[in-house]
Amino acid sequence: MKSKNWQRSFFRREQRSLFGEILDWMLTPLLLLWPVSLALTWLVAQGLANKPFDRALVYNVQALAQLVKLSPDQQRIQFNLPQPASELLRADDSDLVYYQVIGPQGELLGGDRDLPQPQDDEKSGSYEVKIRDDEMRSLEVRVAYTWVTLATEKTHVGSVLVQVAETREKRSVLATEIIKGVMLPQFAILPLAVLLVWLALVRGIKPLSQLEERIRARKSDDLSPLDEKAVPLEVAPLVSSVNDLLGRLKDSISTQKRFLADAAHQLKTPLAGLRMQADLAQRKDSSE
């Protein structure tokens, strides 16, 4: 007996809530998209944080490139960076700044020798500045670089590599501040969005509750059709089906009433005959 009850309860379809199902289908994508929004915000914040500092790097590279010149005899390449300018270039409270100037033969003309050089396929035209991510002394750096081509009227002297690198501390701080500015309002907006969705569903399902109240308020013999215009468009087919069922039920009850009336009429004459014969028999018995 217990096994049969368990089988019935196992195969019985669980009753679902329309309100809960709609709420799940609305909130689940919202909660799944929120981490995606966090990731996209982080990427956008990184891009926004890079832009102002990248412009500063480009400016520094262009300024250093202007200091690369040929010697008066046009036989050698010179790079003269005054000490105050070098100190000003490296003056940064948050990040470390490196620079490097490499001659055509790979000779160091100025700056830090261990700054990584770009790949051969990353060479650009003269004074065209490019930016890349690299690593310097186990630190992640952002590097701006350009190739300065020097030539005389008779010969091509060569190309000089000018690079300026900066660690990413300021960028990380700015990106974090941007994310905080975007994410903190979302922590307040998300519960508010859930509340608004819940209120919208309550208001949207209210016509179904009103329809239920109208049906419960009807008398047991009231088989008149329901008003299809008083319900939402999506519920109208259901109301139409109920009206069709009420119409068939009304026709069935009318048929039953006609059948009972005809049967009563047909039974009325035989019963009257039997009553008459019983009266005659009773009179005959009494006369004897």
DSSP of 186-232, one letter per residue?
A: HHHHHHHHHHHHHHHHHHHHHHHHHHHHHHHTS-TT--PPP-GGGS-
Digit-coded pLDDT (tens) for 164-206:
999 988 888 888 888 888 777 777 787 888 888 888 878 877 8
Residue 240: inside a domain: yes
Residue with tokens 């490139």: 65
Residue 194: inside a domain: no
Q: Which contiguous run of DSSP H or E holds residue 64?
A: helix 18-65
Residue 209: inside a domain: no
CATH number, position 144: 3.30.450
Q: At what angle do helices 18-65 and 169-216 cross, to 10 degrees?
A: 160
Residue 203: inside a domain: no
pLDDT the model gives residue 230: 74
Distance of alpha carbon 223 from alpha carbon 207, whole angstroms: 21
pLDDT the model gives residue 276: 67
What would the two tokens of residue 72 be? 């008066």
Do both 284 and 226 map to the same domain?
A: yes
- The boundaries of the domain holding residue 53 are 43-176
N-to-C CA span, the chain: 70
Do both 168 and 260 map to the same domain?
A: no
pLDDT the model gives residue 10: 43
Do both 169 and 222 map to the same domain?
A: no
Residues of the chain with pLDDT under 70: 1-16, 18, 74, 120-127, 152-156, 263-274, 276-281, 283-288
Amino acid letter, 74: Q
Residue with tokens 């490499």: 102
Distance of alpha carbon 55 from alpha carbon 131, whole angstroms: 10
- The CB-side HSE value for 257 (13 A sphere, CA atoms) comes to 6
Total domains in the chain come to: 2
Using the 3D structure, point to which of 125, 156, 176 is the last residue of a domain: 176
pLDDT the model gives residue 6: 46
Residue 120: inside a domain: yes
Q: Alpha-carbon torsion 195, 201, 206, 208, what sign?
A: negative
Q: Which long-range contacts (CB under 8 A, 24 or more apart) does 124-132 make?
A: 125/149, 126/159, 127/62, 127/65, 129/58, 129/61, 129/62, 131/54, 131/57, 131/58
